[in-house]
Structure 1
Amino acid sequence: MRLRILAAAALACGLVQPALAGDPDSWPTSVELGNGVNAGLKGLLQYDLNQFTDDRMPDGSDRFDDAHTWRRQEFNLYVEKKGVFTINAGYDFQSNSWVDNYIGLETRAGRFRLGQFKTPVGWEDGNTSTSNVTFMERSLPEQAVHEGRRVGVDWFYQGIPHWLLQVGFFTRHDLNDDAAGETFAGRVVYNPVQEQGEVVHLGLTASRELRDDRTGRIRARPEVNLTPVRLVDTGTLLGVDRLDRQGLEAAWIHGPMLLQGEYLAMQAIRPGLRDFHARGYYVFGTWALTGESRGYKTGSVAGLTPQHPWGALELALRYATLDLDDGAVMGGREHDWTLGLNWYINTHFKLQANVIRAFSDRGNLPLDPTIYAMRAQLNF
């Protein structure tokens, strides 16, 4: 473990040195084409280290394998004119998959998008930039319930003071050939307070996915990604006509503090069989030790913008729980505690460290690993 921590520290030092040299916001990653039109390249690089302990099986073997590798190598080409249109093409070279690929138009009637992008149910997955998530990975219920990216069209409207409305329709296919049905989705957000350093967010999301293959599967990793192992997993559910998802969102930004939580539920409707119900929630709090306040825009919480030459520090604590036991389906139950420390070196570089204490019970096999995780991130 010490050697891997040293390897991660060496990588971090390699990132920090250029980060602290020069103006980090002057990188030439875009060019002006004239008439207010810009073209450019956006990138997100994340290198992770995962270390597992307390994961011994009854036969003496370890359930998890330690790992360190790239988590994401995403690049997006875009052409845009602020307030008029955006064209984006993105690919993740680590997972060999297409990410956001769409055409967006801004009108007085709202923003319209056509292409592939995230479905809205699941606040951190569907409506928060991957580079701005507080913890290294999304919570248990987010992983289980969020549908992922799909090809479709959506409408996004903020013309009513304090309100945000979003409606989307997604087709049977996506660019990675993973989708298996049509989805109708919507989101409503109310902001009774929205000022710099003081925000109240209340949200409601829902979707209905009509399954073509009449199957479904609900599962989650223990809040790290460099492992294929899931401690909770329903296995393949048969006879699924549709998957219904619902979410309740709430957050409060108060100066250097952020409190955020979300309740998520999912039902697999199976005519002639017993329906399956999954549910879970997370709640977390953060404190910017250096005094900065989180940003907020279009229903999403942003990261910290450092106000000191050496960056910004943030302490975070999360509790998450997921229940996949219902009737004859014993997918298991899990709850995790995650302690996180984030160092925002500047607007492009971030280092993260998480300690996760996972508690699971699936059938007659309780497994409660402790996980140490680190990440070095570059985004531009």
Structure 2
Amino acid sequence: MLWRGSAFGTNGGFVVVIVTRSLSALACLLLLPLAVLAQDGQNVQDKEKEKEKEGESKGLRFVWNRRPSLRAGDMLRVDFRVKLQEDGLSFSPKSEAPEESFVFARRRIGIQGNFLKVFEYRVERELTRESPWRDVFLNFRYFRDVQLQAGRFKVPFSLDQLTGEMDNDFIHRSRIGDLLAPGRDVGVMAHGRVLGRGLSYQGGVFRHDGDNSRFGHNPGAGRTVAGRVVVTPLRLVTKDSPLADLEAGLAMTGGDVPEGLNALRGVSIWDTRFSSDVYVKGRRLRTGVEENWEPGPFSVKSEYVRVSDERREQGLLNDDLPKLLSRGWYVSATWIVTGEKKAGGIEPSRPLFRHGAGAIEIAGRYDRIRFGSNAPGEEPETNPRAVNLAENGEGIWTAGVNWYVNHWVKIQVNSMREAFEDIDRSPRPGRARFWTHIVRFQFVL
């Protein structure tokens, strides 16, 4: 850790401490990119020569193209990756605050690339003892329309969850992305894009239903089948319109959950439980719909997710109970005020120290999540075998600013307001609303 200490105050105090204690972090983040810029500039000048050598050179050689890489003609490519994120935190009230005000959110290293022209791979590891392995997979892409991927990677469900951690518009994912979407698991998947790249599909079988479903002694669902389809419905009608890039998607997963207190959980941003334990047994079915539109410097995204868990033979008389329902949604929007295009990732047209100040983006999101059952006429209870489970949920407003300093460095500032429906089951019983302020420093090589 770079700094240690208890959570500091909010409002003016938060701003002062963040600014003063973050200068050294910002300097550290900028030093390596500044050193790299000169070499990167030389790479730009020699770009055409490198392309010519790519086909001619068969020996192993080192290349720097914004990141270190080993190449052997067009038969092997090994890119070395480093991903770092550090957060400065402030809370109101302080009951949810971690022991440290500045924490490493991610420290990740890895390699990725291709070999024999038709195989792609990625290996990423978090520098932690708990669940260190992230993506570890091999992709076979001889046929571009039908590719096959195997290993450990994200189950194809939820636009928010499938967006890379380093590419998020916000510091924290939506609640449905973190709690209802599966996350990573071991499996095999077919995927591709067809119809003039107007339809993309993913479908596979996985050992479980993702890391997000397994916590504590909860094993999650067993073997899970997952599928996702994304279309650009207006592309064939109006290719020149901004609406041509509007994407709509549908996704589903299905698996069986063993008997026990194995339901999905509702937790706050900082892992404080607000949903009750529930006995479940039987089929777990996820359904999700999504929308993604990125015209020019703008973006509008939304999702709705519903998860149903059967409760077979979980009544007091060994009878079947109404399904546990976990559902939620979000709507978000962003605007790059410096004018860069959003689609495909933001690349500052005028990076800091290269005749500019980088790219600036403002972002806003509202998301909701709720847990309960649908049993009208029955008294709501928090008993894990209740016929009508007492519902609880939360809604979160998030406002943020993203500063893309250059190709390697991004700084994000978010303010989040959580509001819980049941104040008796909130992180601090009797209080419904909580504020969190976060600044994140990110470096990606």
TM-score when normalising by structure 2: 0.75
CA deviations 1:149-193 (Å, max 9, x no partner) are 111000112122210111010014989995541110000000134
Could you tell me whether the CA contact under 8 Å between 2:296 and 2:343 is conserved in 1? no
Alpha-carbon distance between aligned partners in 2 of 1:239 and 1:264, rounded to the nearest angstrom: 19
> How far off its partner does 1:44 sit?
1.3
Higher mean Cα deviation, 249-258 or 359-368?
A: 359-368
Where structure 2 has 5 or more consecutive residues not aligned to the other structure, the ranges are 1-7, 9-15, 41-63, 313-319, 353-357, 374-379, 381-387
SS at match of 2:340: coil
Q: Which of 360, 378, 381 is the aligned partner of 1:313?
A: 360
Alpha-carbon distance between aligned partners in 1 of 2:116 and 2:305, rounded to the nearest angstrom: 34
Tell me, yes or no, if structure 1 residue 348 matches structure 2 residue 408. yes
Could you tell me whether the CA contact under 8 Å between 1:330 and 1:362 is conserved in 2? no
Alpha-carbon distance between aligned partners in 2 of 1:116 and 1:246, rounded to the nearest angstrom: 22
Query: Over alpha carbons, which structure has the higher Rg?
Result: 2
Alpha-carbon distance between aligned partners in 2 of 1:9 and 1:140, rounded to the nearest angstrom: 31
Q: Which of 363, 368, 372 is the aligned partner of 1:325?
A: 372
Distance 1:291 1:89, change over 3 A: same
Distance 1:19 1:79, change over 3 A: closer
Could you tell me whether the CA contact under 8 Å between 2:179 and 2:213 is conserved in 1? no
Alpha-carbon distance between aligned partners in 2 of 1:152 and 1:81, rounded to the nearest angstrom: 21
Could you tell me whether the CA contact under 8 Å between 1:218 and 1:234 is conserved in 2? no
Q: Which of 71, 93, 105 is the aligned partner of 1:54?
A: 93
CA deviations 1:312-349 (Å, max 9, x no partner) are 00000101111113353335211011001001111211
CA deviations 1:223-253 (Å, max 9, x no partner) are 4xxx3324x3233x22321221111111211
* Residue of structure 1 equivalent to 2:436: 371
Alignment of 1:86-165 (within 5 A): 86-94=120-128, 95-108=130-143, 109-125=145-161, 127-161=162-196, 162-165=198-201
Alpha-carbon distance between aligned partners in 1 of 2:399 and 2:210, rounded to the nearest angstrom: 35
* Residue of structure 1 equivalent to 2:203: 167
> How far off its partner does 1:7 sit?
2.3
SS at match of 1:233: coil
TM-score when normalising by structure 1: 0.87
Distance 1:176 1:256, change over 3 A: closer
Where structure 1 has 5 or more consecutive residues not aligned to the other structure, the ranges are 56-61, 297-302
Tell me, yes or no, if structure 1 residue 211 matches structure 2 residue 220. no
Could you tell me whether the CA contact under 8 Å between 2:183 and 2:212 is conserved in 1? no
Could you tell me whether the CA contact under 8 Å between 1:340 and 1:352 is conserved in 2? yes
Alignment of 1:8-87 (within 5 A): 8-21=22-35, 22-23=37-38, 26-54=65-93, 62-65=95-98, 67-81=101-115, 84-87=118-121
Could you tell me whether the CA contact under 8 Å between 1:91 and 1:98 is conserved in 2? yes
Distance 1:76 1:17, change over 3 A: closer
> How far off its partner does 1:129 sit?
1.5
Higher mean Cα deviation, 315-324 or 362-371?
A: 362-371
- Letter of the aligned partner of 1:374 in structure 2? V
Q: Larger relative contact order (C-alpha < 8 A, sep ≥ 6)?
A: 1
Higher mean Cα deviation, 354-363 or 160-169?
A: 354-363
> How far off its partner does 1:82 sit?
8.7
Higher mean Cα deviation, 176-185 or 261-270?
A: 176-185
Could you tell me whether the CA contact under 8 Å between 1:280 and 1:322 is conserved in 2? yes
Structure with higher strand content? 1
Distance 1:9 1:139, change over 3 A: farther
* Residue of structure 1 equivalent to 2:335: 287
> How far off its partner does 1:216 sit?
2.5
> How far off its partner does 1:205 sit?
0.6
Higher mean Cα deviation, 33-42 or 350-359?
A: 33-42
Distance 1:243 1:9, change over 3 A: farther
Alpha-carbon distance between aligned partners in 1 of 2:245 and 2:115, rounded to the nearest angstrom: 28
CA deviations 1:129-161 (Å, max 9, x no partner) are 211010001001212211121110001121222
* Residue of structure 1 equivalent to 2:421: 361
Distance 1:375 1:141, change over 3 A: same
- Letter of the aligned partner of 1:74 in structure 2? R
Paired residues, number: 362
* Residue of structure 1 equivalent to 2:48: none
Alignment of 1:263-302 (within 5 A): 263-271=304-312, 272-296=320-344
- CA-atom RMSD, angstroms? 2.6
* Residue of structure 2 equivalent to 1:58: none
Q: Which of 184, 190, 210 is the aligned partner of 2:231?
A: 190
Q: Which of 248, 269, 272 is the aligned partner of 2:289?
A: 248
* Residue of structure 1 equivalent to 2:299: 258
Could you tell me whether the CA contact under 8 Å between 2:258 and 2:280 is conserved in 1? no
Alpha-carbon distance between aligned partners in 2 of 1:238 and 1:131, rounded to the nearest angstrom: 36
* Residue of structure 1 equivalent to 2:271: 228
Structure with higher helix content? 2
> How far off its partner does 1:220 sit?
4.5
Alpha-carbon distance between aligned partners in 2 of 1:176 and 1:290, rounded to the nearest angstrom: 36
Distance 1:244 1:215, change over 3 A: farther
